[in-house]
């Protein structure tokens, strides 16, 4: 058994009873090929909630700081996470992300770049648009709807995949591409509350 599968089972066993994590729209998830999951970010547990509801393994881009935590720095690479330096153009992280997508994997990121303090959807950073335009990935918008209250319900909603081929042909900018993605996330949040 892969470590990823083992870890996913453990996390699912803990999170599901505590927060009743519920997947909606799983049928929207492509069974093969490169996929870019873009989700809103309301809690530190979001990567875990998205990870256990995704039908495929995810390569998460995660802030560099958590790779300095002793126990996490050995676990994170085993669950396909890779670091990104926030607030600057991190060429190594961009290269790793594009490489994961080129190999036909699923990559997950939170376009806002940080957790929302208010729970409201913030502005997306250009990185999401960069990956959508520079790869052949299908973009799956994802809404995490909380709050994370013990024995409450957390919904992870996967929307219809966005085919970015026409946007690539129209040569939209990374910022414009991110806005398209964020609008789809917004619709999922407000359509599933």
**How far are the Cα atoms of 8, 59, 125, 165 from residue 137, in angstroms, in the given order?**
24, 13, 18, 9
**How far are the Cα atoms of 96, 97, 101, 170, 179 from residue 176, in angstroms, in the given order?**
23, 20, 21, 11, 5
CA separation for the pair 123, 113 (Å, rounded) = 9
What's the pLDDT at 104? 97
CATH number, position 20: 3.40.1130.10
What's the pLDDT at 88? 62
Question: Is residue 87 pLDDT above 90, yes or no?
Answer: no
What are the φ and ψ backbone dihedral angles of 35, each rounded to 5 degrees? -135, 135
Q: What is the pLDDT of residues 95-129, one digit of tens each?
A: 999 999 999 999 999 999 889 888 889 999 999 99
Q: How many domains does the chain have?
A: 1
Q: What is the pLDDT of residues 149-168, one digit of tens each?
A: 999 999 999 999 998 999 99
Percent above pLDDT 90 for the chain = 80
Q: What is the pLDDT of residues 33-63, one digit of tens each?
A: 999 999 999 999 999 999 999 999 999 998 8
With beta carbons less than 8 A apart as the criterion, state whether 167 and 180 touch. Answer: yes
What's the pLDDT at 163? 87
CA separation for the pair 11, 122 (Å, rounded) = 27
The three state secondary structure string of 118-186 is: CCCCCCCCHHHHHHHHHCCCEEEEEEEECCCCCCCCEEEEECCCECCHHHHHCCCCHHHHHHHHHHHHH
Band of the pLDDT at 85, cuts 50, 70, 90? confident
What's the pLDDT at 24? 97
Residue ranges making up the domain that contains 102: 3-191
**How far are the Cα atoms of 18, 62, 120, 129 from residue 49, in angstroms, in the given order?**
12, 15, 18, 23
Hey, how many other C-beta atoms are within 10 angstroms of the C-beta on 40? 26
Q: What is the pLDDT of residues 1-34, one digit of tens each?
A: 799 999 999 999 999 999 999 999 999 999 999 9
């Amino acid at each position: 058994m892969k470590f990823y599968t083992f870890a996913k089972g453990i996390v699912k066993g803990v999170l599901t009873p505590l927060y009743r994590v519920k997947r909606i729209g799983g049928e929207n998830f492509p069974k093969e090929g490169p996929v870019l999951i873009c989700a809103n970010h309301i809690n530190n547990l979001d990567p875990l909630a998205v990870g256990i509801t995704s039908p495929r393994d995810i390569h998460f881009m995660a802030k560099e700081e958590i790779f300095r935590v002793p126990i996490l720095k050995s676990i994170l690479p085993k669950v396909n996470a890779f670091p990104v330096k926030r607030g600057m153009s991190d060429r190594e992280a961009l290269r790793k992300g594009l490489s994961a997508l080129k190999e036909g994997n699923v990559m997950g990121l939170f376009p806002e770049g940080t957790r929302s303090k208010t729970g409201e959807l913030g502005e997306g950073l250009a990185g999401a648009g960069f990956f959508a335009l520079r790869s052949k990935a299908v973009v799956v918008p994802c809404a995490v709807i909380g709050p994370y209250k013990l024995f409450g319900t957390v919904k992870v909603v996967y929307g219809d995949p966005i085919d970015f081929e026409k946007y690539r042909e129209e040569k939209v900018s990374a910022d414009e591409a991110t806005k398209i993605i964020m609008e789809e996330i917004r619709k999922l949040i407000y359509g599933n509350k």
